Amino acid sequence: MSKVIICANQKGGVAKTTTTLNLGIGLARLGKKVLLIDNDPQGSLTEALGYQEPDRLETTMAQIMEWVLNEEDFDLEAGILHHEEGVDLMPANIELSGVETSLIGIMSSETVLKDYIALIGAKYDYILIDCSPNLGQLTLNALVAADEVIIPVQAAYLPIKGLEQLLKTISRVKRKMNPKLHIMGILLTMVDYRTNYASEITDVLYSVYGSSIHIFDTSIPMSVRAAETPAMGVSIYKHDAKGKVAAAYEALTEEVANNG
């Protein structure tokens, strides 16, 4: 079965989508079979992979979750898109927000994504899930389905301060619904190495969490070139192969691949 890794943080703008995309394609470049799941009604991952009008897609995560929830039979290839850089994508669009609302109060609604992955998991080495910037039903589904959590954190004070709520949620899910859930690590993103502030924030992160949670050796630097990639529909490896962000995501991919 595949290893299921989610990128989660209830704070937006911390490079969750960028990390899911570049880590996924990085693993594909190592010869792994990878499925990326867009679990966010905003469809950011879907757009970043070149599908600029996700609302026009016929089959997305919304339909899949409804089929699984209603225990309907469906083609397991339904909705899966094949990207030129060697990954598969299960896209999302705004319809997913309606599904999220309908999940509230339904028995076992937190296992819908896990049940879907159980159906398709044997085809992939890795399944990476990009989560909404909140701790709602969709993120809960991802936490219940996951083996590992990567927490991207922007190198700034407020995003670090907001980590506590996410860590409490992860702990509660692990205790009550998914005992195998594990935090693979905190990933520092959008680090501006030209400032002392970035170093101070890094020190704070290590002093508060370093003894209890793994912090990736790799951090992702701030880069204008990286910020351009979502509009291009390709990974950083294709858009700026010799840049510092591509090198950082390559190093992160090695860390993840060596994680077991």
Q: What is the pLDDT of residues 83-123, one digit of tens each?
A: 999 999 999 999 999 998 888 888 889 999 999 999 999 99
User: Which whole number is the average pLDDT over 16-28?
Assistant: 96
The CATH number assigned to the domain with range 3-257 reads 3.40.50.300
> Is the Cα dihedral 47, 31, 256, 26 positive or negative?
negative
The band of 37, judged by pLDDT with boundaries at 50, 70 and 90, is: very high
CA-angle at 90, arms to 86 and 92, nearest 5° = 135
In the three-class reduction of DSSP (H, G, I as helix; E, B as strand; rest coil), residue 38 is classed as strand
Tell me what pLDDT residue 225 has.
75
Does position 201 have pLDDT exceeding 90, yes or no?
Answer: no
Q: Does the reported pTM lie above 0.75?
A: yes
Q: How is the chain split into domains, by residue range? A: 3-257
User: Which whole number is the average pLDDT over 5-9?
Assistant: 94
Residues of the chain above pLDDT 90, percent: 72
* Residue with more model confidence, 231 or 208: 208
DSSP letter for 220, please: P
